[in-house]
Amino acid sequence: MDSWDDLRVFLAVARGESLSAAGRALKIDPATAGRRIARLEMRLGTPLFAKSPQGYGLSEAGQRLMDHALRAEQAMQAAQDDLAGEGGDRLSGQLRIGAPDGCANFLLPQVCAQICAQNPDLDIQIVALPRVVNLSKREADMAITVSPPSAGRLSVQKITDYQLHFAAAAAYLDNASALDKLDDLHHHRVIGYIPDMIFDKELDYMADLGLSRVALASNSAAVQFNLLRQGAGIGIVHDFALPSDPSMRRVLPQAFALTRSFYLVRHDDDRRLERMNRLATMLVNEMRAQTRALEAAAAFS
């Protein structure tokens, strides 16, 4: 293996699962990425990827190399931070944050806008996915989750609790039948998650309510919110999402409320990087502040 560049190409292919994705990430031709991988495999004397119509999956040898490559990447980042002398208050570079799409759509935009305003040389990318973000494949530098992971070499920090209530658009409520108690929900069109696509038990909101039928469903919290905005029914909504549409109203807030939590998940080795620690602190503090402010505004809806 000649250089760090070999590992950069290897990491890019492993994360993107294709030569074209690696080429885009590194701004090189996909054919060049392919030649570099072939040359690396020849030097190591073993295939690093299993190629299929679905893309490039890591072989057993590739999985073993991945651990070494990640440590090398972290060491290079630490060296760059040290030599750059980032002693000032402002941060630069790029940060990729993975989050469930409800958080990514209705909370992170405000959070990231504040962080970027304070750090104009910092680039932030939000990866919004209706599933758990894979940190081992470096889909993101940090991930926000609704359950703390129990496996892997990860650092987990609780960020904040957040609230959820039933909500609906004013246009729906104006023409709907009575909603005085939870049992009345059986006479309304319920909007929620597709039951067999719920990726975290903390999102299975309807389980204890006896609402077996979800008339309009999506695996995306943002799509559910937009269905509610159209007056299509009633559903469970993050309180921090409600201020984004003044027409939305909380329903039965005294009878039903949920509390869930957000967690910040990072690679354990990243705790040795001062830059990543500072970014994590800013993200946690801003998420707490924005959640409190948005939930306070939602209380009047």
Q: Which two tokens stand for residue 183?
A: 């049992």
**What sign has the CA pseudo-torsion 70, 72, 76, 78?**
positive
Q: What is the pLDDT of residue 87?
A: 47
Per-residue pLDDT of the chain (301 residues; tens, 9 = 90+): 457 888 889 988 988 889 998 888 888 999 999 999 999 999 899 999 998 888 899 999 988 898 788 778 777 766 666 665 544 566 778 888 999 999 999 999 999 999 999 999 889 999 998 777 777 666 788 999 999 987 777 889 999 999 999 999 999 999 888 888 998 888 899 999 998 898 888 888 887 787 778 889 999 999 999 999 999 999 999 999 999 999 999 999 999 999 999 999 998 877 777 888 889 999 999 999 999 999 999 887 6
- For residue 301, what pLDDT is reported? 61
Q: What is the pLDDT of residue 51?
A: 87
Q: Residue 191 phi/psi, 5° resolution?
A: -115, 135
pTM for the full predicted model: 0.76
Instruction: Output the pLDDT for position 88.
Output: 53
Taking CA atoms, 271 is separated from 40, 134, 144, 153, 207, in Å, by: 30, 18, 16, 11, 37
- Where do the domains of the chain lie, and which CATH numbers do they carry? 4-84 (1.10.10.10), 93-160+261-298 (3.40.190.10), 161-259 (3.40.190.290)
- CA distance linking residue 283 with residue 264, whole number of Å: 9
Element (H, E) at 169: strand 154-169
d(CA 157, CA 144): 10
